[in-house]
Copies of this chain bind each other. A is one copy, B any other.
Amino acid sequence: MIQTILTGSLALFAVPGPARAVEVTDHGVSLAITGILIVFAGLAAISIFIGLMPKVLKLLEPREEPLPAKPRKRTVTPSDHLDEATLTAIAFVLHAESERASGRNLKVTLGLNPSPWALSSQMRILPGRLK
Contacts and interface: CB of A to CB of B under 8 A. Distances in A.
- How many identical chains are in the complex? 3
Interface residues of A, number: 35
A113 B86 CA distance: 11
A9 interface: no
A14 to B, nearest CB: 33
Contact of A80 (B109, B110, B111): B111
B76 A117 contact: yes
Contacts of A78: 109-111, 113, 115, 117
A96 interface: yes
B92 A94 contact: yes
B116 A75 contact: no
Best-surrounded residue of A78, A80, A100 (most CB of chain B within 10 A): A78
A89 B104 contact: no
A73 B116 contact: no
B86 A93 contact: no
B72 A117 contact: no
A72 B109 contact: no
Given A89-B117, A117-B85, A107 B73 contact: yes
